[in-house]
Amino acid sequence: MKKPVSLLVIAAVLIMGISGCKGASRKAAQSDERDGGKSGALKIALLLPGLLGDKSFFDAAGAAAPLLEQELGAQVKVVEMGTDQTRWLPTFIDYCEGGYDLIMTVTSAINDVLLQSAEDYPKQKFMNIDCGAKVTVPPNVYIMESNMGEMGYLAGIVAALKVKELGGGNIGFIGGMDIPDINEFLIGYIDGAQYINPNIRVSYSFVGDFADPGKAKENALVMYAGIPVIYQAAGGSGLGVFSAAREMTEKGSPRFAIGVDSDQALELKAGDPAAAGLIITSTVKRITDSTLEAVIGYTKGEVSFGKQEQKGLKDKAISLAKNEFYEKLLSAESRKIVDDVEADIISGKIVPRKTKGLSAEEIDAIRRPVRP
């Protein structure tokens, strides 16, 4: 009588084992399905110290995610950390503990958190895909940056030419925050404008936030009362400058703007065509393409971790948006001057001031004399 019982037990165990294997297989298949079947793929976390929807910097960075997935088969997690800086370090820690091959971020605002994380997790690889501040780079971090001084310089050329066409001599600048990155734009802007008109006056103000378009609009409306052209380098806040330009124009006082980071006229064309039609140009960073290139370099072992690299007009890392609005809002004669200046920068005939690493005293010495 014992043998049949033993056989039944053995049979039950075998059935449970087979069932368990099938269950494990199902779980593995479900796991593969959740991650697109790419369980062995490169895992990347893109941690944004802000929010998508700015039609500028963060959107350009976020747009790299689908390209990385398509070109490399990577798994990319885009995380909007928001503007509450107390959330940034805990988020970095979470993803450092999450088994990601590469953690990427953007802007100098995140540097303290990035460097702290790099120190605490020395085996984790990090990239800041656009950082203007000069830092001592740890061996597990790679930092690349667009030449923001050159971007500002080109914007200054355009603004000075446009205001000259309008018969004036004052232009404006609105920055997100009074920090080194944004002052690079401003110093370049002043220098570029003075190349066209040594006596030009530049008003400037800072919003104090990269996600407050309402405050930026208030600043712009005050500035637009006597100034026809404003260059904004303010992230999501900069949308308020475009809104102010539209409002002033609708009231009979035509006002114009210059965008930053992305081709913002094209970004706004569908949703706010009236504002888009007042954006002369934008100084564009190739953040999306540069991010893809950096990760491809990482997969090939070609990225120089422990270094900070700057790229500008000559490297095709930055450009001016020359779209339908540019051709409509700037005369052919002025556009020819812009083309000549670009060619001279690329050839080295014109060498814009090095804006990186300027002290607060040096920045103030450059800013103060040009403000009305």
Q: What is the pLDDT of residues 39-81, one digit of tens each?
A: 568 999 999 998 998 877 788 889 999 999 999 999 999 999 9
271 domain-assigned = yes
Q: Are residues 89 and 215 in the same domain?
A: no
219/345 same-domain check? yes
Both tokens of 203, joined, read 């008003």
For 187-241, write each residue's pLDDT tens digit.
999 999 999 999 999 999 999 998 899 999 999 999 999 999 999 999 889 999 9
User: Do 156 and 175 belong together in one domain?
Assistant: yes
Is position 330 within any domain? yes
Q: Count other C-beta atoms under 10 Å from residue 179's C-beta.
A: 15
Domain boundary among the residues 146, 172, 206 is at 146
Look up the CATH number of the domain holding residue 88: 3.40.50.2300
Contact (CB, 8 A) for 59 and 52: yes
Q: Which residue has the tokens 């793929």?
A: 41
Per-residue pLDDT of the chain (372 residues; tens, 9 = 90+): 433 444 433 343 333 343 343 333 333 333 333 233 345 689 999 999 989 988 777 888 899 999 999 999 999 999 999 989 999 999 999 999 999 999 999 888 788 999 999 999 999 999 998 876 778 899 999 998 899 999 999 999 999 999 999 999 999 999 999 988 899 999 999 999 999 999 999 999 999 998 899 999 999 999 999 999 999 999 889 999 999 999 999 999 999 999 999 899 999 999 999 999 999 999 999 888 889 999 999 999 999 999 998 899 998 999 999 999 999 999 999 999 999 999 999 999 999 999 988 888 999 999 988 877
CA distance 137 to 307: 6
Specify whether 57 is located in the same domain as 171: no
Pair 250, 127 in one domain: no
Domain limits for position 330: 148-285+319-370
Number of domains in the chain: 2
Same domain, 139 and 159: no
> Does some domain include residue 291?
no
One domain, residues 97 and 133: yes
Q: Name residue 57's amino acid.
A: F
| 157/142 same-domain check | no
> Does one domain contain both 253 and 272?
yes
